[in-house]
Structure 1
Amino acid sequence: MLAAAGSLVATIWAALHPRTLLVAAVTFLLLADYFKNRRPKNYPPGPWGLPFVGNIFQLDFGQPHLAIQPLVKKYGNIFSLNLGDITSVIITGLPLIKEAFTHMEQNIMNRPLSVMQERISNKNGLIFSSGQTWKEQRRFALMTLRNFGLGKKSLEERMQEEASYLVEAIREEEGKPFNPHFSINNAVSNIICSVTFGERFDYHDSRFQEMLRLLDEVMYLETTMISQLYNIFPWIMKYIPGSHQRVFRNWEKLKLFVSCMIDDHRKDWNPDEPRDFIDAFLKEMTKYPEKTTSFNEENLVCSTLDLFFAGTETTSTTLRWALLYMALYPEVQGKHIVTIPDRAKFFFWNLWLREGQKMVQRKGVA
């Protein structure tokens, strides 16, 4: 009987054509993808996507805010998109966004972690951690930032001082056209530096300029098409050269920069007199030598970079938009009697403080 069964299997296998096997495999994968990504009941409507990659090729990653406008007109202010393995619900319109963050906060606390983000952060830090790690790091960051002036007069004075440096850097251009991107990034980052590193950097410091350039570059490269393809096909894309490989190289350089700052702190560290975020974190690490918590150097590096990444980009972008609107509407400027330096200080203080508080008080809001 066993011989007959073996003979039957051999006959069937010999009859199968490789093309038949290929068609069967493709059919199986397509059905598996369909059942995995089919929309449940009451799920928001949205465009149908391609197998495996979803709607990724329907978006313009250079101008995503414009790419979703036709979808808003067709499906309304709540619709769904499938970006590879990440199924997303898009909410647009200020009333709905406010309602989501006000009344549904518990349902949107977690941020989906892409393959690229997981490789970069290893689930450490403030933004891409979860569970007990996130609770510990969030609680510590809030307490430490408050201890070093967040929301207090002392930090406002540092911001006003940095705003003066920014205004002076603008004056050095002598009224000629220039790109304020990195000057504003410098100013905003220096406020974060004063809290994390206990010092500010000169606008011409080459090492600091390189750090800002790397931050700016990864912000752009992580949204490119090839980086999104890495999130969908990491087992293939990790062997293929491209800008996604530069993202990983840049993050390693950024981590090395922070690690060097940590080593410098250790040389003259006094646990009884913490000077900044790094000193406070090092002190917290000494309380748990058994590694029973998330207070380790890897989390220190990632949390520091999260503060830079989330705080610098959001605030500097807001400030650049403010400058753009002032340039486009000079008649509005003329209605105000405050001087340009005072106006710069006003924007700098209020915008940075507001964005900083949002970032540390609610996970994932960057």
Structure 2
Amino acid sequence: MLTITQGFVVLIIFLLIVEFFKLQKARKQFPPGPAPLPLLGNLVHLKFQFHRDLLMELAKTHGNIYTLWFGWAPVIILNGYQAVKDGMTTHPEDVSGRMVSPFFRAMAKGKGIILASGRSWKQQRRFGIMTLRCLGMGKKGLEYRVQEEASHLVDVFVNLKGRPVDPSFPLFHSISNVICALVFGYHFSDEDKTFHELISATETLFRFAGSFVHQLYEIFPWLVCRLPGPHKKALSCYDVLSSFARKEIRRHVERGIPDEPQDFIDFYLAEMEKSKDGAKPKYDEDNLVYVINDLFLGGSETSSTTLYWGLLYMVVHPDIQEKVQKELDAVLGPSQLICYEDRRKLPYTNAVVHEIQRFSNIVFVGMPRMCVRDTTLLGFPVKKGTIIMPNIASVLYDPEQWETPRQFNPGHFLDKEGNFIPREAFLPFSAGHRVCLGEHLARTELFIFFANLLRAFTFRLPEGVTKINTEPIFGGTLQPHPYSVCAIPR
């Protein structure tokens, strides 16, 4: 006769076998992929990490559209330029939903822009784009703010007088001050204690995203949410950002809404006032808090990290750095204000900025989409509610689109005469209805900051340092390993 323990073990084995066969039946409704295991899904195939190269390797076996399972949740992966482009743009409205996973639901409650879906997302995104345009996005007014911050960053490096420095903080500070001026109406000083707290919270959030514990939370939220661990710290860091946003909102309310709104919060509060008599207001304080968080995180982390990679690549490729400087010297005067329009006269510099974005590939997997209705994806029928994940890394490293995808090569964006050429497979901002709403701002920042830095300085490794790690640290964005450089005035 079986003991209670043995009976329990037999029961568990039986249930696992039943789950296995249920999964095998369920997976027939989706594009092919590796066979999932009960509870774990395909985490074993992914070696318990969400790695861009593993996703590309799986595509070699299962094709450029395949399915991975995270527990009982199927996720369709799109791999390579053609699959991502067709999947995101053939029926863009059908795949415009956002998967609000357990962790992100606990974090942002499905509000704001990035993690919202449906009607709320459309309203908040439309208002966000319209307001950023009113504040100068795509116009000279906003470009002037970028030029101001780039000039301030140059001064920071000048004051270092060639001493070694990790450029991460100065880059983040200057880039984030552009979006802070738009959203809050003021800049942070270098020494501001609150700003340092916001940076620390941001770094913690991005380090946690994509980690093993994050993946466990998404698969077993009912268990992990009750346990101590880094997920608790990540959620508390998001609360730090939210608390700051609420203080800023209160400050604006107490000051009163001016006749001519000066920043994003002013515009939003004015819209809240207009819609407060509606049956269900479209705009409220909670949504404003999460929109502010989205703008701060999206407008700070991605561009500063890309520039952080950019300086690293210039140190590793001094010949490319020298070519950029020669072009800048030949075309621009030493004190001439650099404009975004100057990129047309600086094809090599423009190509290098684009190659930094392509090669660093900081958001290696696009934010998961969700089908908002039954649709067809690359010939496969896909039901409403299915999660779609575009593998952006596979687009930017697609060997069918790039001559030397695994090498840093500005020639990818130049023709034989040295003219800049745009490339269709350059999709660092994603594609379709969920394309990054701050794309134009990011492009302007990257070009103006990079050109200003390389016109003013030559970047070198500190004396005695001969090697530098160019492998990424995986997280919410792909970060370089911390490094130091010397900015030698030219």
TM-score (norm 1): 0.83
Q: Secondary structure of 1:88's match? A: strand
Q: 2: distance between equivalents of 1:52 and 1:161?
A: 53
Alpha carbons of structure 1 residues 228 and 63: separation in structure 2 relative to 1, 3 Å: closer
- Give matches, 1:294-313, under 5 Å: 294-313=282-301
In the alignment, what sits opposite 1:174? 161
Query: Higher helix proportion, which one?
Result: 1
Equivalent position of 1:363 in the other structure? 434
Residue by residue over 1:100-154, the C-alpha shift from the partner in whole angstroms, topping out at 9 and shown as x without a partner, is: 3332423321221110101111111001112221121111111111110111111
Q: Which has the higher mean CA deviation after the structures are superposed, 190-199 or 315-324?
A: 315-324
Q: CA deviation at 1:344?
A: 8.6
Task: Determine which of 324, 327, 352 is the counterpart of 2:315.
Answer: 327
What is the rounded CA distance, in whole Å, between the counterparts of 1:320 and 1:85 in structure 2?
38
**Aligned partners of 2:143 and 2:339 also within 8 Å:** no
* More deviation, 314-323/188-197: 314-323
Are the equivalent residues in 1 in contact too, given 2:205–2:234 (CA < 8 A)?
yes
Which residue identity does 1:161 align to in structure 2?
E
8 A contact 1:80–1:88 mirrored in 2: yes
C-alpha spacing 1:57/1:171, structure 2 compared with 1 (3 Å): farther
Corresponding residue of 1:338: 328
Q: AA paired with 2:93?
A: Q
d(CA) in 2 for partners of 1:133, 1:188: 28
1:131 aligns with 2:118: yes
Q: Which one of 202, 210, 231 corresponds to residue 215 of structure 1?
A: 202
1:115 aligned residue: 102
Cα deviations across residues 35-92 of structure 1 (Å, max 9, x unaligned)?
3573235x33322233122123443677722333432333343332112344222223
Partner of 2:464: none
CA distance in 2, matches of 1:83, 1:342: 54
| 1:127–1:306 Cα contact (<8 Å) kept | yes
Tell me the distance in 2 between the aligned counterparts of 1:188 and 1:119. Answer: 28
Pick one of 101, 120, 136 that aligns with 2:88: 101
TM-score, length basis structure 2: 0.64
Q: Per-residue CA shift, 1:284-304, capped at 9, x if unaligned? A: 111233561331111000011
**1:155/1:85 CA distance change after superposition, 3 Å:** farther
Given that residues 196 and 304 in structure 1 are in contact (C-alpha distance below 8 angstroms), is that contact kept between their aligned partners in structure 2?
A: yes
Distance 1:83 1:177 in 2: 44
Q: Secondary structure in 1 aligned to 2:74?
A: strand
- Displacement of 1:343 in angstroms is 11
TM-aligned CA deviation for residue 271 of structure 1: 4.4
Deviation at 1:156, TM superposition (A): 0.7
Label 1:298 to 1:118 Cα distance change in 2 as closer, same or farther (>3 A): same
For the residue of structure 1 that corresponds to 2:238, the secondary structure is helix
Which residue identity does 1:311 align to in structure 2? Answer: G
CA contact (8 A) 2:16 2:38 kept: no
Check if 1:66 corresponds to 2:137.
Answer: no
Match of 1:203 among 187, 190, 213: 190
> Match of 1:51, SS?
coil
For structure 1, list consecutive stretches of 5 or more residues without a partner in the other structure.
1-14
CA contact (8 A) 1:110 1:364 kept: no
Contact 1:86 1:112 in 2 (8 A): no
Pairing of 1:85-96 with structure 2 (within 5 A): 85-96=72-83
Preserved CA contact (<8 Å) 1:167 1:341: no
For the residues of structure 1 that align with 2:132 and 2:243, how far apart are their CA atoms? 23
Letter in 2 for 1:338: L
More strand by share: 2
Does the 8 Å CA contact 2:42/2:70 hold for their aligned counterparts?
Answer: yes
- For 1:113 and 1:36, how far apart are their aligned partners in 2? 23
Change (3 A) 1:96 1:264: same
Structure 2 residues not aligned, in runs of 5+:
344-349, 358-362, 364-427, 438-490
1:80 equivalent in structure 2 = 67
Distance in 1 separating the partners of 2:199 and 2:37: 37
Q: 1:258 aligns with which of 242, 245, 248?
A: 245
- Aligned to 2:69, the other structure's residue is in SS state strand
Report the aligned-residue RMSD.
Answer: 3.4
Task: Note closer, same or farther for the CA distance 1:222–1:342 as it changes in structure 2 (3 Å cut).
Answer: farther
> Greater shift after overlay, 258-267 or 94-103?
94-103
